[in-house]
Structure 1
Amino acid sequence: MKDFDKTEWALVIAFPVLLALMVLLPRWLVNYVQISMGMGLVALAVMIQMRAGLVSFGQGLYFCVGGYAAGMADKFLGISDIFLILILAVAASLVLSGVLGLLLRRYREIFFAMLTLAVSMILFSLLSSSHGLGSTDGFNLPQASYLGWTPTGETGTAALYVLTALLTLTSAALIHRFLRGPVGKIVEAIRENELRVEYLGTSAHASVHATYMIAAVISSIGGVLWAMSLGHVTPEMANWTTSGQFVFIVILAGTGNVIAPLVGTFVLEVLRVYAVEVSPNTWQMILGIVMLLTIVFLPKGLWSLLERASKRSLPHEHAQEQSQ
């Protein structure tokens, strides 16, 4: 516990806060919080790749793998236990990202972005034409069970919310530790100067591959939690518009901290709700304007506002210490 930093303590404190929100907020807003946590994990996966200078426009691929793993586990195997489903989703994402990573780790910038988009759209096309999986309509998911316990109604909703919060915050804490560790430092160094990383005796390809696989696992977990929350999956989970939304979240929130994409996802969900209410026919234009303003005035995202405030408070605190 002694080596916990501010971010990790914030994630620990966030758990009881999220539980309190479940009780205090209206049901519709709690639903948005729960959905945002699942999507936030995928945005977090996009963020850690951006730390390496890689923009994934196909992260919906693993988001979809997680969601369809949950649906197909029940449909074909009769499995509704969420822990078994999570294991299946993680295994599927590890195998797929392990194979695709052998190709993708060689590419950077626009080539990496377009290749991730291409493989995601392949899955989207396959699912859209698969009548056994509901084609473009997708199919419904069962009520989640927990090691033999199958809660229903409000109890089932609350149980899934608590598990979603726990897994989301734990995943964010682990990713934070990863970014602080040796591979995380190498990932950031690759963004700055990949050639120098190679000269130091470290394989940039292997580090990118590892980061890609970790991002795939996190995204698949997010896909499971999101799909179980909604109770339905469709091929749209793998569509380029979904993947683009995760990139939008990271641009809006920033890459300075693992908490940023989690908060940014909820901000986007609320923004979209009100944009649709204000302008049902042109709500996308409102989101586009917000994104444009963010890029122009806050190129490092909303999180940079907190970083600026923190830097301003440090000299003040230092002056107080000297006066004492």
Structure 2
Amino acid sequence: MNIKMDRTETGLLLALPLLILIAFVLPKWVVNYVQVSLGTGLVALGVMIQMRAGLVSFGQGLYFCVGGYAAGMLAKFLGISDLFLLLAAGILAALIVAGIAGFLLRRYREIFFAMLTLAISMILFGLLSSTEELGSTDGFNLPSATYLGWAPEGETGRLTLYTFTALVVVVCAILLNRFLKSPVGYINEAIRENEVRVEYLGTSAHHAVHITYVLAAVVSSIGGVLWALALGHVDPEMTNWTTSGQFVFISILSGTGNIAAPLIGTFLLEILRVYAVEISPNTWQMILGSVMLLTILYLPKGLWSLLTTRKSTKPSDDSADKISVGD
């Protein structure tokens, strides 16, 4: 097994202590936005790895919500607040839902895939909005996280959760980077270019899409748990179409050229939203829309393309040649 780290993974590891350091030197409101961005950034990563296969999920908020609600229900009904158990519950719930839904979705591409993901997420939105035991449209609160019996409070609790969030996000990003460079990752790129050719080589495109879909769901559920614990609250808006659209917006804004791009793009979007609301409280959505339009027109590969001109988000024509028969 090749464990050699590339430049991206080295950069992520170097960024980890810097992420932790800012919690001690920057204002709390900035740190809060960074923490929230890290959670939603994982969901954007889930969207991004699917885009590598030419799939655009307009329902990724489904697993963002599944993770948050799984953790919240464990705390609400069983009184469990241990972060590791809450993460396990979110991951397990995402595995079950994505494993089942994947058998349907892996057969579809382009607009059909996008609309089906949206439809499934809106089914959950409707169910949660009408369930009074879960707070209906208001949702419900989560307790402060504990860590294997340790229950930090106040500032210590806030810093502990932030540090753990940063650590989990960096580890997930490194693992996803490895996934993109794995045989399945190359299959995804080849599927986007020529799915028929992939099938002729003896590799199942449906199987690769299913794996990618489930992996994206798991990563998104982890982001949902971390986000819910950071805010101490969950509600059905987590799976609304507007939330899922935000994750697609982030992926387009940041680009798919590097695994770190959606993480950076998520924070930039949060800051952009803050100042857009301050500048134009009633029409701030127009500002976000204008930024997205300009990005598509002048930076079709996203903001990440400003940092490098040597790498392209579009795979080479021989992407399928990197796939060995039977992978």
Q: Which residue of 1 aligns with 2:45?
A: 44
Between the aligned partners of 1:77 and 1:102, the Cα distance in structure 2 is 32
Q: Which residue of 1 aligns with 2:285?
A: 284
Q: Which residue of 1 aligns with 2:62?
A: 61
Q: Which residue of 2 aligns with 1:188?
A: 189
1:229 aligns with 2:230: yes
Between the aligned partners of 2:3 and 2:89, the Cα distance in structure 1 is 35
1:162 aligns with 2:163: yes
In structure 2, relative to structure 1, the CA distance for the partners of 1:29 and 1:208 (3 Å cut) is same
RMSD: 1.1
- By how many angstroms is 1:70 displaced? 1.4
* Larger fraction in helix: 1
Q: Which residue of 2 aligns with 1:137?
A: 138
Matched residues, percent identical?
70
- By how many angstroms is 1:69 displaced? 1.0
Between the aligned partners of 2:248 and 2:93, the Cα distance in structure 1 is 23
- By how many angstroms is 1:2 displaced? 7.2
- By how many angstroms is 1:307 displaced? 1.5
- By how many angstroms is 1:102 displaced? 0.2
TM-score normalised to the size of structure 2? 0.94
Kindly report which structure 2 residues correspond to 1:2-13, keeping only aligned pairs within 5 A, or say none: 3-13=4-14
Kindly report which structure 2 residues correspond to 1:1-324, keeping only aligned pairs within 5 A, or say none: 3-308=4-309
Number of residue pairs the alignment of both structures matches: 311
Between the aligned partners of 1:309 and 1:217, the Cα distance in structure 2 is 31
- By how many angstroms is 1:309 displaced? 7.3
Between the aligned partners of 1:20 and 1:84, the Cα distance in structure 2 is 27
- By how many angstroms is 1:267 displaced? 0.2
Q: Is the 8 A contact 2:257 2:311 kept in 1?
A: no
- By how many angstroms is 1:310 displaced? 7.8
Letter in 1 for 2:308: E
Deviations 1:115-169 (A, max 9, x none): 0000000000000000000000000000100000011100100010011000000
Letter in 2 for 1:51: R
Between the aligned partners of 1:70 and 1:230, the Cα distance in structure 2 is 13
TM-score normalised to the size of structure 1? 0.95
What 5-or-longer segments of structure 1 have no aligned partner?
A: 312-324
Between the aligned partners of 1:211 and 1:200, the Cα distance in structure 2 is 19
Between the aligned partners of 1:45 and 1:137, the Cα distance in structure 2 is 26
Task: List structure 1 segments (4+ residues) > 4 angstroms apart after TM superposition.
Answer: none
SS of 1:307 mapped into structure 2: coil
What 5-or-longer segments of structure 2 have no aligned partner?
A: 313-327
Q: Which residue of 1 aligns with 2:318?
A: none
Letter in 2 for 1:242: T
Letter in 1 for 2:181: R
Deviations 1:200-243 (A, max 9, x none): 00000000000000000000000000000000000000000000
Between the aligned partners of 1:30 and 1:308, the Cα distance in structure 2 is 31
Q: Is the 8 A contact 2:16 2:166 kept in 1?
A: yes
SS of 1:308 mapped into structure 2: coil
In structure 2, relative to structure 1, the CA distance for the partners of 1:227 and 1:253 (3 Å cut) is same
Letter in 2 for 1:40: G
SS of 2:308 mapped into structure 1: helix
Between the aligned partners of 2:151 and 2:116, the Cα distance in structure 1 is 41
Q: Which residue of 1 aligns with 2:320?
A: none
In structure 2, relative to structure 1, the CA distance for the partners of 1:94 and 1:310 (3 Å cut) is closer
- By how many angstroms is 1:3 displaced? 1.4
Deviations 1:244-281 (A, max 9, x none): 00000000000001100000000000000000000101
Between the aligned partners of 1:192 and 1:36, the Cα distance in structure 2 is 31
SS of 1:185 mapped into structure 2: helix
